[in-house]
Each structure stands twice: as C-alpha cells, then as structure tokens.
Structure 1
Amino acid sequence: MSPVFRHCPCFRSETDDIQVLEYSHCSLNDVPNEVFAYERTLEELFLDANQIKDLPRPLFHCHGLRKLVLSDNEIQSIPPAIASLINLETLDISKNGILEIPDNIKGCKCLHVIEASVNPLGKLPEGLTQLISLEELYLNDTFLEYLPANFGRLSKIRILELRENHLKILPKSMVRLTELTRLDIGQNDFTDAPEVVGSLTKLVEFWCDSNNISSLPPCLGGLTNLGYLDASRNQLEEIAPELGCCVNLCDITLSTNRLKELPNTFGNLKNVTILRLDENCLSALPESIGNLSQLEELIVSYNDLESLPTSIGLLRNLHTLIADENLIEELPPEVGSCVRLSILSLRDNRLTYVPDELGHLASLKVLSLSGNMLQFLPFSVAKLPKLQALWLSENQTKPLVPLQSDIDPDTGQRILTCFLLPQVPLEEPRDHGGEREGIDIDKEARQQIKFASDITVEQPGKLVRAPTPYPKELKAHAKHARNYALKLKEGSREGSDEPVVANEFEHLI
C-alpha cells in the first residue's frame, strides 16, 4: 500500500518537501526505505498498526521528526540511537513488546508526550526523569512495581496515567508535580490513598478505583480544584469529612465499597451533578444531601437503605434516581417536588404504597416498582403525562400495563390496580452486609425470571393475579387439540356420536 502524504505544499516533483508520512494499517514488516528519502524534511511519521519488529538506524537520522507513532506493532526494543531525535515532541510506542526504554532517552529534551502503555517494561530508566519538558505520560499496563525516586523532576507534567500496574506507593518527590491535572492510579495494589496526592492542588481528575484502599484521608480536602473522583471497587469503610472541602467536585463514583455512612459534609459539594454510591452498606443518607442543588443523577442501589431523606425533595435538578435492591419501606412525599425527575427506579424494596405526590412528577418517563409489596397505585399516577414505562413485574411483556380505577375499601380513596397488583414478592436472601462475592450471588439470583404461579401463597383463599405462561409446548398442544376438535365436528355431521367429546375442546379453539 502506498503511503499517505499530508501537508505537502504542492505536487510538483519527487523532490517536494514532504513533512508527513502515514503508513498506518499497511501490513508492514519493516520501515519502508522511502521514508529515509525525506529525512531532511520529515516531521511526522505514522507507522502504527503494522507488524514491524525492528527499528533501523537510518530512521534516527530523521533529525527533524517531531512526532513518531509506532503503536500496535511487534517492537521489542528501542535503540539507544533514539537520543539523536533532538526535536521529537511526541513518541507513541504503546501496544508493543518493549522490555526496556533506553536511559539515553534523556537526549530527547523536547519530548512533551510519551505514550508507552501496554508494554512489559517492568521499570523506568532514570533518564526519563530528566525529560523536564514532559507534559503527558501514559504508562498503563506496563508491569510497573515502583517509580524512580526522582520522578518529581517532571515538574511540568499535566497528565499521568499509571493504571493496571503493581504499584503500592508513589515517591514523595511527586509533591513537586504542581501542574498535574489528571492522575490515574486505578487497578494497582494501593492499600492507602497516597498522601502526596493531597499536595497536587491543581488536580482535576483523580482515579484510584480497583485497589484495596480502606479510607479516603483528610489530605484530599486540599484538592479544591478536583472535579472528578473515582474510588470505586476498593475496601472503603470511611470517608474523611474534609472531602467536603472539594467544592468543585461534579462527578463522584464510590460504587462497590463497604461504606456504612457518609459524612454530613457531603452537603457542601453543591456542584456535584453525578453521585454513584451503589453496592455499599449504607443504612441511611445524610439529610444534607438535599443541599446538592445541582445533582442530576443519584444511584444508591444495592445498599441497606430503609428510607430516603425528606430533603431529597430539594433536588430540583434531579432527573435520575435509582435505589434498587434496598430495604426501603416508605417513599417520602417530598419526592414529588423533584420536578425534573425522569427515571425513578425502586425495584426490589419493601414498599407497601407510594404517595399521591408521585403524580406531580410531570417529567417522569420511567417508573420501576417491581419486586415490592404494593397493594395498589395512587390514582395520581394516571395523570403522569410523559410516562412511557411502568414496571410492576420482572417478567412483564410490555413496559406499560393497563390500569383500572378502583376504590380502596379501607380508606375510600380512588386507586389504580391491574392484574399485577397486589404484588407478591419473591422471598430471597439478602446479604448486603457481607462480602462482595455474596452480594454478586444475591444479585444474580434476583435477575432470574420466575412466574407468579410458582409462588407459594401462605394465606389460603388469596387470589394471585398472574399472566399465564404460554410456551411452545402449550401452543403445540393447543394446535393438536384444535385439529382434533375439528375432525370430531366433521364426524358429527355424518351422524357420529362424538360431538359431546368435541365440546370439551372448544375452549382451546
């Protein structure tokens, strides 16, 4: 395949000054020789997604190269001659089999970006810490167990990604990385949140998910510019109240931990728009959560919540509330004040009724109430103008079921009912306070579809309304019965005595 020439001033002759060559996805085994014909003018070279194994020495005679992309090849080593690329600004060697970065990479003084993810490096050379112009460094999945002690020399670095390694600590010299805005240490072996992080005052994104961190320390309270925090899939049992000082936080993910409570200072995070707290051990949410005036999405599924705070009615920007798999017995009427609420999911709780104020949710599109103990629905639900899906059972065939008005014999109030009401919940074990594995098994069991006819009714004489299962076998039997009945009817016209038998099948026709 021919190379793609870009940024060429004209097409006058073969001696034109070619600045960019692109050989991406060309099934190359070697660097094409024609590259070296433009060593004087070449500034950008794309060789990604090929099968190149070796880098020839003439490649490093292209002293004007500013961008070199070698990702997704079969390269195992970087020649020391790379130091001759003194104008190189971007180097992408990701997705190769490189075992070592040469120490004399320090000669590439102009490097701003290094992408070396997905290589079996194991360690970094000291020379890399001398690249003082470096602004972005990507080292995800590189088998790192530690960083050089002098890593703090990279004082201009803004983005540092270290995901999916074997790191347990960060060097103290990293306190000098005062320009850092994104730090990703997810999927490592940290048992504590590194203290040096608290000194990175310009940090905007902090990813520490999928470690073994037990608490978020007070030092994080100094990250006043922090906007995104992901500490999911850890062993978190405690969050320091000082986290409430991170007033610019807008996206918080604390899913799959062991949190039993949140600090009341969470109410100070008034810029939060997304808060994910699912798969924890929370028994209550702080009343101060009503102060999160910008909150749009709240996910608290798979906890031990017995109720929702009344202050939830103050969340006027909330459009998604998912509180599945809890112990909620009562929904506060104040939820009717969440005027922008579009999705409300309360599946598998212990609700016996929902308040009339639900009818005030003019923006509500999806309402999931399956797996509760509802006797009926308030008549106000019929007034929801935008409702598109009402889930009352896991095995519904349609998102909306026809509702009929009725009168509650106990209160005389007008109500709504259907063949799925009153609900008869399936009794299954809950183990939200145990290990995460127990929760996953419990979750899987809940996702299995069961028919209401399989439920044992303890109260004799109680009618359970449920749709009749109609599998293929029953269809086949019905068709056979229909044909047999027709034959019997035809026989009756000829004077046979079989019409009486035919009547027994007429209900199947």
Structure 2
Amino acid sequence: MLVGDFKEFLEQQIALKVLKPWWDVFSEYLSVLMMMFGVFGSTLQATQDKLLCLPSHASAKHPSEIICYEFTTQTFNSTNSTLQVLPVQEMKGLKNNLDIQQYSYINQICYQEALHWYARYFPYSVVINTLILMVCGNFWFKFPGTSSKIGHFISILQKCFDSPWTTRALSKVSKLKPFEVPKLKLEDKECNLVTNADVSGDEKNELLKTTPVSVPKETAAKKPPALDKKEGEQAKALFEKVKMFKTHVEEGDILYSMYVCQSVLKAFTFVLIIVYSVILVPNIIFTVPCLAEVDNMTGYNSFCCSHTKASFFFKLAVYYLCFVCIYGLICMYTLYWLFHQSLKEYSFQHVRQETGMLDIPDAKNDFAFLLHLTDQYDSLYSKRFAVFLSEVSESKLMQMNLNHEWTVDRLKQKLQRNRNNLMELHISKLSGLPETVFKLTEIESLKLELIDSIKIPSAISYLTNLEELSLYKCPANIDEIGLGFLANRLKVLAVKFDTDREIPLWIYKLRNLEELYLFGSKCHNDISSGACLDELPNLENLKVLVLKSNITRVPPNIIYLAKSLQNLCIHNDGTKLTALNSLKNLNNLTKVELNHCNLERIPCAIFSLNSLQEVDLKENNIRSVEEILSFQNCSKLNCLKLWYNNIVFIPEHIKKLKSLESLYLNNNKIMVLPSELFLCTKLTNLDLSHNEIRVIPREIGVLQNLQYFAVSNNSIEGLPDNLFFCTNLKILKATNNRLTILSPKIANLKMLTRLELAGNKFEALPLEIGQCSCLRRCDFIIEDTLFTMLPMHIQEQMSKEQS
C-alpha cells in the first residue's frame, strides 16, 4: 500500500515538472541539500554526548565570572621558547563514590541551562526552516483553488503533446493545398473554369494559373499516416476540452496571484532565516561556562563545559547559510521574472509564424501564465498545445473525421430521386461537408442542411452532372475555381436562412442560374431593402424567383430581370405587401404567386402583364374581386387561384375570362354562384369546396371540358342533372354536404376515375354507378354500408385492379 502511494506521488511530481522552471527545480535541490544537513546534524545531536563538564577551582556567582582555561597545568612561553610549568592547585570536593552519576547529572543540567538554545537546537532549526521553504515552494500545487486547474492543464497538455493529430497538423498545416480538380483540356478551360464572356482575359489566365496540376505518384510527397476513427474522436474531444479550459481559466488570475504570493513568502522566509542565523551562529562555541547549584553534592558550583560538536556545527552553519544565500538569490530572480514583464498576456505570434496557423488566439490571465511557465520548461509544449486552439486545425480534423465516417458507400445509400426526377444527395446536421461527396459523379442535386460554415472546395467540379444546389440554414463559402464551375453548370439554387446576412453573396455571380429560391421565414430584416438583393440584376438568365420571407415591397431592381424572369413567387408569412408597382414592368412573367401577403384586393399592377398565364393569390385577405374584369387584358391567363381568402361574391363579369381553364375559389365565404361563371367554357378545373354554397346552377352543364369539379364541405342538397352532361369529368368531390339522392345519370360519366361522396345523407346509391367503368373502390370515397348495398357484381367490378 505504501509503495503504491509513493509511486503515485512520484508520478505526480514527474507530471508537474512542466510547470517548474529552472529556478524552482534548483530551489528544490538546494532544499534537499539543506534538509540533508539538518538530518545529519540532528542525528549527531541525538546519538552522541552533548556536553562534558569539569569543576572550576573557584566558586562564582555568575557564569561570566567563571574562568575556563584550555591549558591549566602548563603553558608555552613564547619569549624564551621554554615550557613553563604552573603551580597545580589541588581540587577538593565531597567524596561520595558517585563520580560518574553526579557528573552525568551536571552535564545534563549545564546542557539545558548553560548552552545557548541555538547551539542546542541548530540542526532541528535547519530541518524546520527547510520544511517551511519546501512548503512555500509547492503550496500552489496543493491549494484547492489552483490544484484542480493545474492538474487539468497538465492532463490536457500531455494529451495534446502525445496526440497523433498534433504531429500531423504541425507537419501539414503550413502546406495545405486545395483539393485537386481534374486536369482540363485547353479547349474546355473556359467552359469549366470561366463562367461567361464578361470575365476578362487576365482573369481567365489567373484562374487557369490557379488550377492545380496532377502530380505523378512517384514525385508526390508522402502523406503523414492517416488517423483511425478512435484517434480522430480523441482529438475532437481534445479540441472541446481545450476550449472549455481556456474559457474557464482566462476568467481570473488566481494561479498567478498564488505563485506571486508563494514567491514573496519564500523571499521573506529567506530574509528572516539569514537575519536570525547571522545573529545567533556566534553562539555556537566550544567552551561553555556553567553555574550549577550542586555544591552540596560535589562541593563545586562552577564548571567549565566543552560542547563536543560546536566546531562541526559552526562549520555546518556556515555552509548552510551559504546555501540559504544562494536560495535567496534565486528568490530575488523569481520576483524579477514575475514583475519585469506582463505574465498575464501570452502571444502565439512565434507559433503562428512557424506553423502557418494564423488564427491561433492569444491568451490572457491564468491561461497565459501557465503557458509562460511551460515555455521555461520547453517551448515545444506551447507549440503543440496551440494546435488545439486553431479553428483551422479543428476544421481539418473534423473534415478528416467526416471522411472516415461518411464513406462513398454510405453516401451512395442516401442517393434517391427527387420530385424533379434528379438523383439527389441530402446531407444534414453534420459538422462539415465530407470530401467523399465529390466522388459521386452521378449527383444531379445536392442538398445541404444545418451544416455550419462550410466551404465548397474546387473539388465540386468533379460533379459534372450537378444541376441543383440547396443550402438550408447552411452558411457556405466557395473558392474561385468552384465558383467558376457552378456559374457554368448550376441551374437551380435554393437558400434557406434565418437572417439576410446569411445569404451568400456569391450566388449573384452564378450568371447562368435559372431558378433562385430564397427562404427566410424567420428573417427579421426586410431583404428587399437590404444589400443582399442589390446584385440581383446580375442574374441575367434567371427565369424563376421565389422569395419566402416577410418583405414589405417587391424589390425595385427586379425590373432589370424583365427580359428573362417568367415566374415570380412571394410567400410573405402574413406581412403586408404594399409596393407592387415594379411588377407591371415584368412583361415576360407567365406566373405570379403572392401568397400570405395580407392583400385586400387583387393588385392592379398584374393586370398589365400580357404574358401572364397563372395568378395565385392564396391566403390573403381579399374580400371583393370586382376588379376581376381587368384580367381580360391578360389574354393568355388560364389559371386563377383565389383560394383561402374571404371572398363572398363572384361578379357576373367573370364571364369575360374566356381563356380561363382552372379556377380555384375554395376556402372562401361564397354563398351564391352566378350562372355567368359557367360561361367560361374552357374551364377544366373548378374548385368550390369549403364555402357556403347551397345550390349549383344548371348552367354547369355548359362546361363540356370540365375534368375536375370539387364542392366538398358546402351545404348543397342536390347535384343538378346537367352536371352529368359534363362527360369529360374525371374527378368529382362532393363530401360533407346535404345530398340525399344521386342521379342515375351518373352513368354518363364514363371517364370518372375518382368519386368522393362521404359525409352526406344517402340512403342508397343508384345501380347506374356500375356503368362508370373507370371507377375503382380505392378511389370511391363512400361509407362502407352504402357500398355493400350495391350488387355484388358492381362491388367486384370496382374492386378489380385497373389494368
């Protein structure tokens, strides 16, 4: 158990060495030497005789009156060089045959009363002083407020130093190269790298110069070994630990303050030891006069004692003071180092210059102080630690981990056809864009969602079939070569953002772009008045523009797209759209959608659009459509959607819209249908569901081209027989009404493929319904009880799968 504890203590001391500069290490060695002096002196003091006393011939009343001679019987006369013999005085005392015991007793009394305390306890004072110096030098390693931070720092520092990613980053980060693009033929360079004729010849040459050239395998530099998945995850965790530790430690300066306090305490202790030692060392003498009241036992009260270790202890004290002086000089140097420069700031300028990682932030407070201490041990630690402070380094690691996780085979499993029948790859909620994506050359549509701050590399030029790109809450940058490729190939771009600042401005350099979708349902700024749409006229080939945001006016510079723009859709999330005058200049518009724009009337600006074919005014606040007559100027208008409004009345002059083929008036408050409505004889789709209609006029039979008719969720009590003269009708929806009888003339609807009658008051269905040969059970929406009342052969006929 003790061996294990000692081993753990040694390991801890080895780990702490990175925070011990040379002066602290030197001080520890000096402390060890001083401790050895103290232990050696204490051993001698405890194991050998301390004082030997002999009686003096003359009695004294004070120790200063006692005369002790080193030579009592003979002396050397230096004048005549002869040895003179002095008269010997006979010593008389009490005879009690206890000479040994009584003088041992006298030795003990004189040791305690006559010998100076410093001479008596000098070795022990050395031990105590040295222990105090040791505690002062290592207190900050044990103090609760600092030990946890120090331990955490050393643990992270060691892991950063040993991490395989550190070696890889230091060896490669200064030599990073863009992802190589295929070498292009001279005649294809303009089509693959330069987007259009507006790019100058100098710009083309510059682009061509920046195109990487393939390097032969035999001459290519060897790449550092790739990290496996486990090492990559460990390095990723280290980045998080370093960030958290930096944020936590930079908040205060307790480590610096504690180190300064212990250094000042060491200096104060040194001064105190020197002062009292210099004063008290002369008290370590060999001959000690002693006055002991033992004359009733021995006949003497004055004694001369010899301190047998005085000479040795005096020399030991001199050496000890020399070491203490050296220790004091080190303390002074430590204080000079602490105060002659600011240790609460640390610059990684030298690391940035050596490694090329220019984004490494400087440190402050305790974090800076720890790095200064580490530099005193070895500056390489700070350099390797700085790798995990660099966002560039972190992004490269994340990219490598992504490439390990998202292999080509895994990405292929996510490929699927989208609604435009294009091969689409949808990637979401990743830390970056895997480079393996660019190996899937069959990608036609690339959708990136919830990926923070990605950079589209030049390797996107490998995706030669790419036509669509979607960036949903995914701020993206792109390099020059990749932008040139997209400008030439990309046809459709969708960008979803939270604020207009997240719209990448490089999208306005995609001069061949045909469709642009900007979705910003949570945008707090008016994107139409911001700088984000100022360059919209650069998209000279744009045909479709969809804005889903909360703008208050149509972008005025949209008029510069009058020659190309054919489809304009604004979904405004309930914000009132007021300024619409710019629309009347878009003569080539064929479709206008103004959804949820809080409009109260049909905008007059769209009545002058001669090429207009479809108008969609869904989810507004339109109550009156009297101005619908003006649509007769739009001779090509064939689809009008006024659904999800508050319309209560349809004017009679709707009959003027002779070219109308689709009319959607569902989800309004219409109660009466004018017979003039059915003079729009080209109608093929008519949706009147979710209103308050009670009667369908018999004139509906005029609509011989009608294929889709919906009157669900009204109050209709009967379908007119004339409806069944519309023999081209394929879909009839009349659910949730008050129908009680279905006319047998339904047999005329030979092309009927879907019939919805649920939610009415039918008691039975006509048998003629069996003559609707194209109707199948799955498309016949009726209660099961009514269906089972039909003859079996009709049920079987409808239950058959259509060939």
* Corresponding residue number in structure 2 for 1:138: 517
* Corresponding residue number in structure 2 for 1:186: 571
Give, in angstroms, the shift of residue 316 of structure 1.
Answer: 1.7
Choose which of 572, 588, 594 in structure 2 pairs with 1:202.
588
State the one-letter code of the partner of 1:215.
R
CA 1:132/1:309 → structure 2, altered by over 3 Å: closer, same or farther?
A: same
Give, in angstroms, the shift of residue 140 of structure 1.
Answer: 1.8
CA 1:397/1:266 → structure 2, altered by over 3 Å: closer, same or farther?
A: same
Deviations 1:324-376 (CA, angstroms, capped at 9, x unpaired): 11122332221121011233232222334444543322333444444444566
Supply the distance in 2 between the matched residues of 1:387 and 1:125 (Cα, whole angstroms). 50
Choose which of 267, 274, 280 in structure 1 pairs with 2:668.
280
| Matched residue SS, 1:215 | coil
State the one-letter code of the partner of 2:597.
N
Supply the distance in 2 between the matched residues of 1:30 and 1:325 (Cα, whole angstroms). 55
* Corresponding residue number in structure 2 for 1:495: none
Supply the distance in 2 between the matched residues of 1:138 and 1:189 (Cα, whole angstroms). 19
Matches for 1:285-300 after TM superposition, within 5 Å: 285-300=673-688
Higher helix share: 2
Check whether the contact 2:575–2:596 (CA below 8 A) recurs between aligned residues.
Answer: no
Supply the distance in 1 between the matched residues of 2:749 and 2:779 (Cα, whole angstroms). 16
* Corresponding residue number in structure 2 for 1:117: 495
* Corresponding residue number in structure 2 for 1:40: none
Check whether the contact 1:323–1:346 (CA below 8 A) recurs between aligned residues.
Answer: yes
* Corresponding residue number in structure 1 for 2:199: none
* Corresponding residue number in structure 2 for 1:461: none
* Corresponding residue number in structure 2 for 1:173: 557
Give, in angstroms, the shift of residue 68 of structure 1.
Answer: 12
* Corresponding residue number in structure 2 for 1:95: 472
Deviations 1:3-62 (CA, angstroms, capped at 9, x unpaired): 9999999xxx9769xxxxxxxxxx9943899xxxxxxxxxxxx99838464999xxxxxx
| Matched residue SS, 1:303 | coil
Give, in angstroms, the shift of residue 289 of structure 1.
Answer: 3.1
State the one-letter code of the partner of 2:583.
V
1:76 aligns with 2:445: no
Deviations 1:370-407 (CA, angstroms, capped at 9, x unpaired): 44445665675565454545999964257463269xxx
Check whether the contact 1:261–1:283 (CA below 8 A) recurs between aligned residues.
Answer: yes
* Corresponding residue number in structure 1 for 2:341: none
RMSD of the alignment, in Å? 5.0
* Corresponding residue number in structure 1 for 2:599: 213
Displaced runs of 4 or more, over 6 A: 3-9, 67-70, 107-110, 124-130, 390-393
CA 1:101/1:208 → structure 2, altered by over 3 Å: closer, same or farther?
A: farther
State the one-letter code of the partner of 2:581.
E
Give, in angstroms, the shift of residue 165 of structure 1.
Answer: 1.8
Give, in angstroms, the shift of residue 304 of structure 1.
Answer: 0.8
Supply the distance in 2 between the matched residues of 1:342 and 1:357 (Cα, whole angstroms). 15
CA 1:4/1:322 → structure 2, altered by over 3 Å: closer, same or farther?
A: farther
CA 1:141/1:170 → structure 2, altered by over 3 Å: closer, same or farther?
A: same
CA 1:231/1:101 → structure 2, altered by over 3 Å: closer, same or farther?
A: farther
Supply the distance in 2 between the matched residues of 1:378 and 1:47 (Cα, whole angstroms). 51
Supply the distance in 1 between the matched residues of 2:180 and 2:427 (Cα, whole angstroms). 15
Give, in angstroms, the shift of residue 180 of structure 1.
Answer: 0.9
Give, in angstroms, the shift of residue 96 of structure 1.
Answer: 4.5
State the one-letter code of the partner of 1:120.
D
| Matched residue SS, 1:267 | helix
1:340 aligns with 2:728: yes
1:238 aligns with 2:619: no
CA 1:297/1:108 → structure 2, altered by over 3 Å: closer, same or farther?
A: same
CA 1:325/1:7 → structure 2, altered by over 3 Å: closer, same or farther?
A: farther
Supply the distance in 2 between the matched residues of 1:281 and 1:350 (Cα, whole angstroms). 18
Supply the distance in 2 between the matched residues of 1:191 and 1:206 (Cα, whole angstroms). 17
Choose which of 738, 756, 762 in structure 2 pairs with 1:350.
738
Supply the distance in 1 between the matched residues of 2:783 and 2:659 (Cα, whole angstroms). 39
1:312 aligns with 2:700: yes
Supply the distance in 2 between the matched residues of 1:180 and 1:6 (Cα, whole angstroms). 35
Supply the distance in 2 between the matched residues of 1:6 and 1:109 (Cα, whole angstroms). 12
State the one-letter code of the partner of 2:565.
L
Matches for 1:33-44 after TM superposition, within 5 Å: none
Check whether the contact 2:487–2:511 (CA below 8 A) recurs between aligned residues.
Answer: yes
State the one-letter code of the partner of 2:519.
N
| Matched residue SS, 1:236 | coil
CA 1:402/1:130 → structure 2, altered by over 3 Å: closer, same or farther?
A: closer
CA 1:354/1:399 → structure 2, altered by over 3 Å: closer, same or farther?
A: closer
Supply the distance in 2 between the matched residues of 1:388 and 1:132 (Cα, whole angstroms). 49
Deviations 1:181-238 (CA, angstroms, capped at 9, x unpaired): 1212114344246332232121122222233222222221122322333322222223
Unaligned stretches of 5+ residues in structure 1: 17-26, 34-45, 57-66, 405-509
Give, in angstroms, the shift of residue 253 of structure 1.
Answer: 3.2
Q: Greater RCO between the two (CA within 8 Å, min separation 6)?
A: 2
Supply the distance in 2 between the matched residues of 1:367 and 1:248 (Cα, whole angstroms). 31
CA 1:187/1:402 → structure 2, altered by over 3 Å: closer, same or farther?
A: same
Unaligned stretches of 5+ residues in structure 2: 1-178, 186-213, 218-231, 233-396, 404-423, 436-443, 793-803
CA 1:151/1:394 → structure 2, altered by over 3 Å: closer, same or farther?
A: same
Give, in angstroms, the shift of residue 314 of structure 1.
Answer: 1.9
User: Percent sequence identity over matched residues?
Assistant: 19
Supply the distance in 2 between the matched residues of 1:6 and 1:253 (Cα, whole angstroms). 49
* Corresponding residue number in structure 1 for 2:266: none
CA 1:333/1:5 → structure 2, altered by over 3 Å: closer, same or farther?
A: farther
Deviations 1:398-452 (CA, angstroms, capped at 9, x unpaired): 7463269xxxxxxxxxxxxxxxxxxxxxxxxxxxxxxxxxxxxxxxxxxxxxxxx
Give, in angstroms, the shift of residue 121 of structure 1.
Answer: 4.2
Check whether the contact 1:146–1:170 (CA below 8 A) recurs between aligned residues.
Answer: no
Give, in angstroms, the shift of residue 302 of structure 1.
Answer: 1.0
* Corresponding residue number in structure 1 for 2:121: none
| Matched residue SS, 1:74 | coil
Greater displacement, 378-387 / 172-181:
378-387
Check whether the contact 1:343–1:366 (CA below 8 A) recurs between aligned residues.
Answer: yes
Check whether the contact 1:54–1:75 (CA below 8 A) recurs between aligned residues.
Answer: no
Supply the distance in 2 between the matched residues of 1:398 and 1:350 (Cα, whole angstroms). 16
Greater displacement, 345-354 / 69-78:
69-78
State the one-letter code of the partner of 1:140.
F
Check whether the contact 1:350–1:373 (CA below 8 A) recurs between aligned residues.
Answer: yes
Check whether the contact 1:348–1:371 (CA below 8 A) recurs between aligned residues.
Answer: yes
| Matched residue SS, 1:139 | strand
State the one-letter code of the partner of 2:496.
V
Check whether the contact 1:270–1:292 (CA below 8 A) recurs between aligned residues.
Answer: yes
* Corresponding residue number in structure 1 for 2:427: 49
Check whether the contact 2:432–2:452 (CA below 8 A) recurs between aligned residues.
Answer: yes
State the one-letter code of the partner of 2:540.
K
CA 1:123/1:363 → structure 2, altered by over 3 Å: closer, same or farther?
A: same
Supply the distance in 1 between the matched residues of 2:741 and 2:445 (Cα, whole angstroms). 64
| Matched residue SS, 1:71 | strand
Supply the distance in 2 between the matched residues of 1:90 and 1:284 (Cα, whole angstroms). 48
Supply the distance in 2 between the matched residues of 1:130 and 1:384 (Cα, whole angstroms). 55
Equivalent residue pairs, number:
359
Check whether the contact 1:49–1:71 (CA below 8 A) recurs between aligned residues.
Answer: yes
Q: TM-score, normalised by structure 1?
A: 0.56
Matches for 1:435-474 after TM superposition, within 5 Å: none
CA 1:373/1:388 → structure 2, altered by over 3 Å: closer, same or farther?
A: same
